[in-house]
């Protein structure tokens, strides 16, 4: 039986601030295709589920003054958004790698509507990005994020000020790891594009009267599509397996 309904609701709302902030920025959940009401319901259900685990940590803070409670709402929301942004940076890195792939294989058609967001993106990069996010959901990436979020009550104690220096270090480390991973995934296409264009440049020097660059575009695209066909499975698999590394030690 609940002996303090008001305190229980206030404590639940503080948990909701951290989890709701994470859902607000988490890839997939924060997509423009997901209704806002569904995001609220997901965050509310998760908050109710983890409330018993965090009761002894959160409940004592609800008896403080109103000004302190407002500060807790602000800091908890920022912490949640930070943890969601770490995953979002990683998925944006996949979009960056997909754009490199499309450019290197000569697939530079005008952008169309993105499946995930309300932005303009070409079909190849949209396909690769969607495949990456789908494999993350298949591998239950949100379990890793929410587990790290619950553990954050130890690394970022409840009721204290958000450590901006540690937050910036987490962002820079995530950007560094994401850049290395995405460059490694897109390196075959970078090498392919460089070798093909250098070869076409030599051919153009040997036969300057022939418009080699116009003739070579179909061959560039055909070779790039074959390379994507043979490497997309390994690339998406490595993308999903490397996700957990960005939350180690956070």
Euclidean distance between CA atoms 166 and 158, whole angstroms: 15
pLDDT digits (tens, 9 = 90+) for 45-93: 988 888 888 888 887 777 655 557 787 888 888 888 888 888 888 988 8
Average pLDDT across the chain, whole number: 82
For the chain, give every domain's residue range: 5-247
pLDDT digits (tens, 9 = 90+) for 157-213: 776 667 777 778 888 888 888 889 898 888 889 899 888 888 888 887 777 777 777
- State phi, psi for 112 to the nearest 5 degrees: -120, 180
pLDDT of residue 160: 65
Q: Reduced to 3 states, what is the DSSP secondary structure of residue 46?
A: helix
Top pLDDT among 103 and 157 is at 103
pLDDT of residue 250: 58
pLDDT of residue 52: 85
Lowest mean pLDDT among 90-99, 120-129, 140-149, 205-214: 205-214
Q: Mean per-residue pLDDT for 7-28? A: 86
Element (H, E) at 113: strand 112-113
Share of the chain above pLDDT 70, in %: 90
Radius of gyration of the chain (CA): 23
DSSP assigned state of 121: E
Q: Mean per-residue pLDDT for 154-158? A: 76
Which residue, 249, 92, 111, is CA-closest to 175? 92
3-state DSSP helix/strand/coil % of the chain, to nearest 5: 80, 0, 20
């Amino acid at each position: 039986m609940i002996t303090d309904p008001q305190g229980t609701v206030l404590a639940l709302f503080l948990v909701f601030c951290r989890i709701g902030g994470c859902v607000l920025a988490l890839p997939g959940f924060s997509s423009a295709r997901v209704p806002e009401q569904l995001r609220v319901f997901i965050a509310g259900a998760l908050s109710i589920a983890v409330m018993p685990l965090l009761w002894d940590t959160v409940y004592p803070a609800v008896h403080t003054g109103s000004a302190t409670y407002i500060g807790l709402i602000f800091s908890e929301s920022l912490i949640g958004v930070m943890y969601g942004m770490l995953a979002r940076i990683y998925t944006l890195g996949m979009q960056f790698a997909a754009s490199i792939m499309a450019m290197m294989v000569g697939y530079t058609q005008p952008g169309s509507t993105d499946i995930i967001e309300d932005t303009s993106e070409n079909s190849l990069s949209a396909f690769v990005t969607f495949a990456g996010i789908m494999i993350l959901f298949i591998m239950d990436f949100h379990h890793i994020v929410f587990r790290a979020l619950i553990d954050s009550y130890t690394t970022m104690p409840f009721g204290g000020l958000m450590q901006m220096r540690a937050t910036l270090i987490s962002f820079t480390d995530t950007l560094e790891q994401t850049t290395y991973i995405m460059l490694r995934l897109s390196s075959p296409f970078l090498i392919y594009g460089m070798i093909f264009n250098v070869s076409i440049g030599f051919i153009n020097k040997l036969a300057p009267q022939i418009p080699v660059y116009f003739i070579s575009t179909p061959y560039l695209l055909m070779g790039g599509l074959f390379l994507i066909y043979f490497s997309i499975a390994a690339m998406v698999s490595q993308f999903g397996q490397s996700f957990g590394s960005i939350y180690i030690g956070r």
